[in-house]
C-alpha cells in the first residue's frame, strides 16, 4: 500500500528553515526595542541642564546591571531656589498624592525628585493600591515648605533642611526652618558608609540626597531597579558608595522602590522623566507620592516658586 505522506524535499526544508531564521533575526531587534521603549537607553552621559545643574547617567554591569542617575547642584548658583511640596497645615493628612512629573509642572520647576516615605500606602496588585492621584497622605518625617511646617514626623526619621539662602544641613536647621524633607536613615557620614546599615539588604530602586564637605554642592541620586537585564537596583551600602564616589560627605536615604523618580523640565515646561520608574511592576509608570523636592533657576523662568 502506498504511503499517503509525501516526503518534503530537502530544498523545501532548507527554505523553511531559512525563513524561520530570518523571522527570528527580524523579531529580535523589535523585542529589544520594545523592552527599552519605556526606559532611557543604558548609555552613559553627562550634560549641563541649567546654570549650576549637571546631569550624569552611569551604567554598571557588575555585580549586576545598574543604571545610576545623578543631578549635581552648585548651591552658590545665583537665582537658585528649592521647593518642598507645600502642605495643608490644618488637615489631618496634609498632602494630596501626586506624581513627581505633576509636581514639577504644577510649580513650574526645572528639576524634581520624590521625597519622604509616607502613609497610608499599599500595593496589593495592579488594580488594588493606594494612594491614587489626589488621595490624602502624610509623610513619615518632618516636612516644611517655604517656612510652613505641616508634618511633625516620627523619632527615627532624619531631616534635610534647606534654608532660604540655600544652606543645607541635616537634623539642625540653619537660620530657622524654611524647606525641610526627611528620609529614614543617614547612609553616608563624613565620607564613610554608615555602620548601622542592614546586613541582609537586597538591591532595590533607590533615591538619596547628599552634600559635600563644604556644603557647596548638593547631589541627588536615583538608581533604577527591579528591571532584569536593564537595572536591578543597589543595596544601601552600594548607594552610599555611589554618593561617596561623587565626593559627598553626608547623604540621606529617601523613599525608594516604586517611588524613585527623577524628572526635569522639557519643552514648554512639560516633565521629562530621566530614569525608569517602576510602580506596580510596570516600567515607566510613576507612583503618586506624598512630598517632593524641586529646584528652580530664577534666570530661566519668570514664574517659579
Task: Evaluate if residue 217 carries a pLDDT over 70.
Answer: yes
Three-state secondary-structure class, residue 148 = strand
C-alpha distances (whole Å) from 24 to each of 27, 29, 37, 220, 228 are 5, 9, 20, 42, 22
Backbone angles phi, psi at 32, to 5 degrees: -65, -40
Closest alpha carbon to 222 in 45, 70, 64: 70
Strand order in the sheet with 95-96: 95-96, 136-139, 118-119
Please tell me the distance from the alpha carbon of residue 305 to that of residue 299, in angstroms, as a whole number: 13
Query: Which triple of cell numbers denotes residue 134?
Result: 489626589
Residue with cell 513627581: 100
Q: Pinpoint the alpha helices (H) of 51-118.
A: 100-106
pLDDT recorded at residue 302: 43
The mean per-residue pLDDT over the stretch 83-112 comes to 97
pLDDT band at 24 (very low <50, low <70, confident <90, very high): low
Provide the percentage of residues in the chain whose pLDDT is more than 90: 79
The mean per-residue pLDDT over the stretch 113-129 comes to 96
Task: Evaluate if residue 13 carries a pLDDT over 80.
Answer: no
Average pLDDT, the chain: 91
Task: Evaluate if residue 122 carries a pLDDT over 70.
Answer: yes
Report how far Cα 204 is from the mean position of its chain's Cα atoms. 12
pLDDT recorded at residue 30: 54
Query: Which triple of cell numbers denotes residue 292?
Result: 517632593
Please tell me the distance from the alpha carbon of residue 188 to that of residue 239, in angstroms, as a whole number: 9
CA atoms within 13 A on the CB side of 78: 1
The mean per-residue pLDDT over the stretch 150-178 comes to 92
C-alpha distances (whole Å) from 250 to each of 167, 219, 281 are 14, 10, 31
Task: List all residues 6 or more positions away from 8 whose beta carbon is below 8 Å from its beta carbon.
Answer: none
Closest alpha carbon to 238 in 261, 276, 206: 206
The mean per-residue pLDDT over the stretch 267-279 comes to 95
More confident residue, 11 or 147: 147
Residue with cell 527580524: 26
The mean per-residue pLDDT over the stretch 78-99 comes to 97
pLDDT band at 34 (very low <50, low <70, confident <90, very high): low
pLDDT band at 28 (very low <50, low <70, confident <90, very high): low
If residue 117 lies in a helix (H) or strand (E), which one and from where to where?
none
Task: Evaluate if residue 9 carries a pLDDT over 70.
Answer: no
pLDDT recorded at residue 301: 47
Task: Evaluate if residue 247 carries a pLDDT over 70.
Answer: yes
pLDDT recorded at residue 305: 53
pLDDT recorded at residue 53: 98
Diameter over CA atoms, the chain: 102
Q: Model-level pTM? A: 0.88
Least confident of 59-73, 154-168, 245-259: 154-168
Closest alpha carbon to 210 in 19, 71, 20: 71
C-alpha distances (whole Å) from 115 to each of 143, 167, 189 are 10, 19, 20
Task: Evaluate if residue 62 carries a pLDDT over 80.
Answer: yes
Residue with cell 537658585: 80
Task: List all residues 6 or more positions away from 249 whose beta carbon is below 8 Å from its beta carbon.
Answer: 188, 190, 191, 210, 211, 212, 213
pLDDT recorded at residue 2: 46
pLDDT recorded at residue 39: 86
Please tell me the distance from the alpha carbon of residue 57 to that of residue 259, in angstroms, as a whole number: 19
Query: Do the beta carbons of residue 69 and residue 222 sit within 8 Å?
Result: yes
pLDDT band at 16 (very low <50, low <70, confident <90, very high): confident
pLDDT recorded at residue 303: 47
Task: Evaluate if residue 3 carries a pLDDT over 60.
Answer: no
pLDDT recorded at residue 33: 54
Q: Where are the domains of the chain?
A: 42-298
Amino acid at each position: 500500500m502506498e504511503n499517503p505522506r509525501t516526503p518534503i524535499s530537502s530544498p523545501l526544508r532548507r527554505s523553511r528553515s531559512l525563513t524561520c531564521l530570518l523571522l527570528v533575526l527580524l523579531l529580535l531587534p523589535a523585542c529589544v526595542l520594545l523592552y527599552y521603549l519605556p526606559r532611557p537607553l543604558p548609555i552613559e552621559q553627562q550634560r549641563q541642564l541649567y546654570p549650576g545643574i549637571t546631569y550624569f547617567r552611569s551604567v554598571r554591569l557588575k555585580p549586576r546591571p545598574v543604571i545610576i542617575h545623578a543631578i549635581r547642584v552648585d548651591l552658590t548658583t545665583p537665582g537658585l531656589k528649592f521647593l518642598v511640596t507645600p502642605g495643608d497645615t490644618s488637615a489631618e493628612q496634609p498632602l494630596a498624592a501626586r506624581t513627581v512629573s505633576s509636581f514639577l509642572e504644577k510649580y513650574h520647576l526645572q528639576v524634581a525628585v520624590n521625597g519622604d516615605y509616607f502613609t497610608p500606602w499599599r500595593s496589593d496588585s495592579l488594580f488594588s493600591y493606594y494612594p491614587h492621584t489626589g488621595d490624602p497622605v502624610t509623610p513619615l518625617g518632618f516636612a516644611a515648605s517655604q517656612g510652613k511646617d505641616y508634618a511633625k514626623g516620627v523619632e527615627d526619621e532624619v531631616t534635610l533642611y534647606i534654608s532660604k539662602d540655600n544652606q543645607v544641613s541635616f537634623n539642625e536647621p540653619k537660620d530657622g526652618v524654611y524647606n525641610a524633607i526627611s528620609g529614614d536613615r543617614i547612609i553616608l557620614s563624613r565620607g564613610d558608609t554608615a555602620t548601622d546599615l542592614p546586613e541582609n539588604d537586597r538591591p532595590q530602586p533607590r533615591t538619596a540626597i547628599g552634600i559635600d564637605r563644604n556644603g557647596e554642592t548638593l547631589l541627588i541620586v536615583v538608581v533604577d531597579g527591579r528591571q532584569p537585564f536593564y537595572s536591578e537596583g543597589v543595596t544601601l551600602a552600594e548607594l552610599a558608595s555611589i554618593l561617596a564616589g561623587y565626593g559627598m560627605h553626608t547623604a540621606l536615604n529617601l523613599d525608594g522602590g516604586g517611588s524613585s523618580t527623577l524628572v526635569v523640565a522639557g519643552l514648554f515646561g512639560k516633565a521629562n522623566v530621566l530614569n525608569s520608574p517602576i510602580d506596580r511592576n510596570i516600567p515607566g509608570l510613576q507612583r503618586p507620592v506624598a512630598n517632593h523636592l524641586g529646584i528652580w533657576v530664577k534666570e530661566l523662568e519668570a514664574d517659579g516658586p
